[in-house]
A and B are shown apart, each in its own frame.
Chain A
Amino acid sequence: EAGVAQSPRYKIIEKRQSVAFWCNPISGHATLYWYQQILGQGPKLLIQFQNNGVVDDSQLPKDRFSAERLKGVDSTLKIQPAKLEDSAVYLCASSFGTGTGETQYFGPGTRLLVL
């Protein structure tokens, strides 16, 4: 079974530039999550989708971050404009549903460095 795919794996940009990350979840998984993992910290949920609808985006900085999951499969996370503090690993995860304790399967992440 193929895992969660993410691209690119690494990205270096200058502040105020824009960047986009792509995620392809495990086939058949209805729920998709984007996490931000700052160095030395655990992952923090940014947004959760159920199919193509948003379940929770309470921790997404909406003034600069946006995410979409058109057609309920792939998803993109965009930052525009980027700030220095956005340097982090962006992890995508998917699960079959949203039930309590559904196992989340994580992709390898995209490491972003903002200069």
Chain B
Amino acid sequence: AQSVTQPDIHITVSEGASLELRCNYSYGATPYLFWYVQSPGQGLQLLLKYFSGDTLVQGIKGFEAEFKRSQSSFNLRKPSVHWSDAAEYFCAVGGVNNNDMRFGAGTRLTVKP
């Protein structure tokens, strides 16, 4: 069965600094990978997704993620973090049908002024 590991429970970065959130997945076939963001009291919002093709995926709000099959990773990056990026970030892996989706436990991002 597929699974997702987000090794970092909490990350703190300074505003303007670069960001990388780690995600490792386990899936028997070609995975479909997603990053979602959840602000306090809000639902999840899709940042980006990967199905095939170019392994570097661009998303909304200046985020990007790179799929590395050899490392079973799908790390999320942003070159310069804004205070409004403070939120919880979830990586998810899915299969053929959306009901196969599995979410990681999330990484909480704090942004220092």
- A residues at B contact (CB < 8 Å): 3-4, 31, 33, 40-45, 48, 55-56, 91, 93, 95, 98, 100-109
Contacts and interface: CB of A to CB of B under 8 A. Distances in A.
Contacts of B46: 103-105
Contacts of A33: 98-99
Given A33-B98, A42-B4, A43-B90, A107 B105 contact: no
A42 B49 contact: no
A89 to B, nearest CB: 9
Contacts of A91: 43-44
B63 interface: no
Nearest to B103: A42
Given A31-B98, A44-B103, A105-B43, 17 more contacts: A3-B43, A4-B43, A40-B105, A41-B105, A42-B90, A42-B92, A48-B98, A98-B99, A100-B94, A100-B97, A101-B49, A101-B51, A101-B94, A104-B46, A104-B101, A105-B46, A108-B42
A55 B99 contact: yes
B53 interface: no
B98 A104 contact: yes
A106 B46 CA distance: 9
Sort chain B's interface into a size bin: 20 to 34
A107 B99 CA distance: 17
Nearest to A102: B98
B45 interface: yes
A110 to B, nearest CB: 11
Given A100-B94, A101-B94, A43 B99 contact: no
Contacts of B34: 101
A23 B42 CA distance: 15
B103 A98 contact: no
B113 interface: no
Contact of A100 (B41, B51, B90): B51
B99 A106 contact: no
Contacts of A4: 43
B4 A100 contact: no
Q: Which 3 A-B pairs have the closest CB atoms?
A: A42-B103, A106-B43, A56-B99
Nearest to B38: A106
